[in-house]
Structure 1
Amino acid sequence: MGRTILKRIIYVLPILGIIGFTALVIYGYSKGIFHSVQTLQTFIKQFGKYAVLIFMALQLTQVIVPILPGGISTVVGMLMFGSIQGLIYSYIGLIIGEIIVYWLTRYYGKAFVRLVLSKKRYLQFEKMMDRPESGIKKLMIFTLLVPFAPDDLACLVAGLADLPFKEYMKILLIFKFWSVATYGYALLFLFNRFLIS
């Protein structure tokens, strides 16, 4: 019963995310929200004190079910709250999401992994599974250090492997910030260079 509900939620969220994101982009361009960093920040800040919580919830969800292209939500946060604060909020939301992913994978096993990954990415995941605990640690560190590497897959592998939660958290807390900052600043540079006049 629980797995059926989870399956439905996981299938519906990406669709809602795409529809919502598309509607926001169309609305944003029609109202001039995306014409500059200032107009985007002004729009988001209308949500007041809840803007930060909404953003962190988006990042949390993003880990479990990617509803936006990778890194885009981090850039939105950096534009909304400033590059340092946005980065920190993004990091917190992503860490909470990675914790949830670890325990969902532990509880539901490969059934959960199959639900959240495409066939191609699931095959990549299967290849990563044949590693001892020390190999899982190295895999996590590598994918977190190398920008745009599949660290989400490594976290799923860690949830199914014999890697203790304490070790998982230690690696995540130390290296995740580097990962978020690297692709956040890289995409922010591209966004400022090519999309914002």
Structure 2
Amino acid sequence: QVVVPVLPGGLGCLVGVILFGPVWGFVYNYVGICAGSLMAFAVARNCGRPLLSLLFSEKTIQRYSRWAEERDRFARLFALAIFLPVAPDDFLCYLAGTTDMTWRRYTAIILLGKPFAIALYSLGLTAVWQMIVR
């Protein structure tokens, strides 16, 4: 879902929790999303900025490209966005791959920032799902 951003990430989190329960659904979502985020970074690192235009709208690219202009500022904003469950994470992972952010820093941000957002998505969407099916 991260490498080929077709479906919203929240939908994948909901399906994981429905199929595997809250604990294993979270674990599978976390592993899958982190692996996909690392792959997106690698693809963008190898393909560069032209890839962004193929996968995302020009509006999204323009909105967040300013973040990438300042190296230290981008890393802080990226970490905050990954931690919060409302940012366009897929796009930001690709954008990060086009910056000079190191693999080590990127990986640390993903591995430490994703659990909170995934847990919020998983728990929140599970509660909504349960209200719908009742």
Q: Is the 8 A contact 1:113 1:122 kept in 2?
A: yes
Alpha-carbon separation, structure 2, partners of 1:96 and 1:147? 17
What is the rounded CA distance, in whole Å, between the counterparts of 1:189 and 1:100 in structure 2?
30
1:148 touches 1:183 (CA, 8 Å); kept in 2?
no
The answer (yes or no) to whether the contact 2:52–2:95 under 8 Å persists in 1 is no
Distance in 2, Cα, partners of 1:67 & 1:124? 20
Tell me the TM-score normalized by structure 2: 0.91
Instruction: Identify the residue that residue 92 of structure 1 maps to in structure 2.
Output: 31
Which residue among 128, 133, 140 is the counterpart of 2:67?
Answer: 128
Q: Mark the structure with the bigger radius of gyration.
A: 1
* 1:13-65 Cα shifts (integer Å, max 9, x gaps): xxxxxxxxxxxxxxxxxxxxxxxxxxxxxxxxxxxxxxxxxxxxxxxxx1022
Change (3 A) 1:77 1:71: same
Runs of 4+ in 1 over 3 A off after TM superposition: none
- 1:174 pairs, out of 112, 123, 130, with 112
Q: What is the deviation of 1:154?
A: 2.6
Deviation at residue 109 of structure 1 after TM alignment: 0.5
Q: Give 2:9's aligned amino acid.
A: G
Structure-2 residue corresponding to 1:29: none
Higher mean C-alpha deviation, range 135-144 or range 74-83: 135-144
Which position in structure 1 is the counterpart of 2:21?
82
2:43 paired residue number: 104
Query: TM-score normalized by structure 1?
Result: 0.64
Q: How many residues align?
A: 134
Q: Which runs of 5+ in 1 are unaligned?
A: 1-61
Structure possessing the higher relative contact order (Cα contacts under 8 Å, 6 or more residues apart): 2
Q: Secondary structure at the match of 1:177?
A: helix
The aligned amino acid for 1:120 is K
Deviation of 1:66 (Å): 2.2
Quote the RMSD (CA, aligned, Å). 1.4
Q: Does 1:196 align with 2:133?
A: yes
| Structure 1 CA distance for aligned equivalents of residues 75 and 59 of structure 2 | 23
Cross-structure match for 1:70: 9
